[in-house]
Structure 1
Amino acid sequence: MFDSGRSTLFCFLLICSTTLVGATDHIVGANKGWNPGINYTLWANNHTFYVGDLISFRYVKTQYNVFEVNETGYDNCTIEGATGNWSSGKDFILLNNAKRYYFICGTGGCFNGMKVSVLVHTLPPPPHAANAANVSPQSSNQAGFQSAPAVLFAFLASLVSIWFNSK
């Protein structure tokens, strides 16, 4: 029988397996991080952002920070009316709406290029949805493939099972 701790772990793993499968974590500046003198417009233009993705900022927390601002704040490097701020040095920000997001450094780094704007798109339809009318259910399963969430869930369920049996 499950105890409450094991049940909680199982529920957590189940939720993670169904919500994070398709999300991408976009690390701002890649290996250069969130620092002055980097062209973040070029970086952003080389990425496609979707609802549910994460944007991550990596920086020295005693020197920099991140503010989500509106377009005026972005253009003028001001944090007045900011809608979010982070200062951990490893910030993971969920992009939960299809819109343009604006982020700046509020410690003065914005004036040295520490600002990035990203356009977040709605999720595209699943790849198989476009062909669903042309493929019968029987033929789509003949290759033996499973969806990514099903495979991830099976893997997590196996780990939980091993963990339960080891107790």
Structure 2
Amino acid sequence: MGYLHGTKRGPRSNNLSFFVLGIPVREAPPAHLWANKQVAILSCTPTAFPLPQKRQGERNQTSPNNVGLNLRPAPPRVLATDHIVGANKGWNPGINYTLWANNQTFYVGDLISFRYQKTQYNVFEVNQTGYDSCTTEGAVGNWSSGKDFIPLNESKRYYFICGNGQCFNGMKVSVVVHPLPSPTASPAASHSSNSSNAAGLVILPRGITGFRTLVVALASIWFGSGWV
């Protein structure tokens, strides 16, 4: 808190030079304070005060002394799932791949992968007719590396078969790919999200945001002598 160090009469006038926190103040106190022999003691304690929300946004855009930090959490990253056909049994004859597919949920962006002996088997993507008849006519893709990763980029039904005759021995699989689920938010959750977004932008001042001068007391001064 500031306090009055002292007063001193000017050489050619009735004005006094007085000091607050050791800083000389040249202006004379008001006349009614002279009459009552009183003067206000001033406090120069710095006081930081928050700006209104809109004003903060404006300062962030126009003032070079402020830095805006976006503290909103980033959206979660969506990872693709690799569905290995047949799991640990791989791509081989005599396996019920319909049962395997029914236990999976495929979304756009996932992968379906085939693991097999590349010298014995292969993979063809066909249409429903090719799938039902075990023919590769009109195939839209084929793979033979023994470890194939096929992206599922569309929301539709895919058909895969082995093209060397093993389709008749069960080496065929059909999967349905679903679109990615859209996030749904309740009104309360939406309101909470809006509040979080509003509070997510924080203005960090590089200097003191402001000062507030407060009148904290009145003191009686007898100026019959040079210093109080």
TM-score by length of 1: 0.67
What does 1:6-155 align with in structure 2 at a 5 Å threshold?
21-125=78-182, 129-131=183-185, 133-135=187-189, 136-137=192-193
The whole-number CA distance in structure 2 between the counterparts of 1:139 and 1:63 is 60
Q: Which runs of 4+ in 1 moved over 4 A?
A: 138-141
The whole-number CA distance in structure 2 between the counterparts of 1:30 and 1:48 is 14
RMSD over equivalenced CA pairs, Å: 1.9
Which stretches in structure 2 are left out of the alignment for 5+ residues? 1-74, 198-228
The whole-number CA distance in structure 2 between the counterparts of 1:33 and 1:56 is 9
The whole-number CA distance in structure 2 between the counterparts of 1:117 and 1:84 is 15
Higher relative contact order (CA 8 A, sep 6+): 2
The whole-number CA distance in structure 2 between the counterparts of 1:140 and 1:57 is 45
Name the amino acid aligned to 1:79: T
Which stretches in structure 1 are left out of the alignment for 5+ residues? 1-17, 142-167
Q: Deviations over 1:64-122 (max 9, x none)?
A: 00000000100000000100000000000000000000000001110100000000010
Q: Matched residue pairs, number? A: 120
SS in 2 for 1:72: helix
Residues 140, 88 of structure 1: alpha-carbon distance in 2 compared, 3 angstrom cutoff: farther
Larger Rg: 2
SS in 1 for 2:119: coil
Identity %: 78
TM-score by length of 2: 0.50
